[in-house]
Amino acid sequence: MARAADDDDVDLGISLETVATVVDHARAIQATEETDPAQLSEDDNSEAALLQENPDDLTEQSLREFIDALNEDEQASLIALAWVGRGDYGPEDWEEAVRLAAERNETGEAGNYLLGMDMVGDLLAEGVAAFGLSIEDVER
């Protein structure tokens, strides 16, 4: 029987606010990449149009720099969360996933690695959800 996770059960090694920032930014990048230019002219208040207002704020490069500015433990935690979200590891394997993520990230290319994953924002959100937590509940 799976136990419900709470704040005392696991230390993710990264704040939920930081994960939420990465998730939001990754999803915004994905949305802008998938936006049909015709949608932008249809409704100035659509999500696609709003995401296009500040294109400099929502670039892969800015997200890569944000991730690369995190400390090594936070980067390893992000990678491990993406792996949990993808189903490579379960919450019960967290310590092993973080250890392997740290080994994988010895080159310091966490930003490139994570942005190379399809739907990385959703994978991170799913990884957090596997611990019984929710990105959607984080205040922004």
12 has a pLDDT exceeding 70: yes
- DSSP category for residue 126: H
Cα 52 to the center of its chain, rounded Å: 20
Does residue 9 fall inside a structural domain? Answer: no
Number of domains forming the structure of the chain: 1
- Close Cβ partners of 121 (under 8 Å, ≥ 6 residues apart): 22, 23, 24, 25, 26, 27, 30
Distance in angstroms (rounded) separating the CA atoms of residues 97 and 32: 31
Range of the domain at 22: 16-137
Distances (CA, A) of 76 to 12, 61, 83, 85, 138: 10, 19, 11, 14, 21
Does residue 4 fall inside a structural domain? Answer: no
123 has a pLDDT exceeding 80: yes
The model carries a pTM of 0.78
Average pLDDT value for residue range 38-45: 52
Does residue 77 fall inside a structural domain? Answer: yes
Task: Give the residue from 137, 23, 138, 129 showing the smallest Cα distance to 84.
Answer: 129
Place of tokens 């922004």: 140
2 has a pLDDT exceeding 60: no
Angle between helices 72-86 and 120-129 (to 10 degrees): 90
Per this entry, what is the length of the chain?
A: 140
Q: Which pLDDT score is estimated for 77? A: 98
Does residue 117 fall inside a structural domain? Answer: yes
Structure tokens at 46: 């659509």
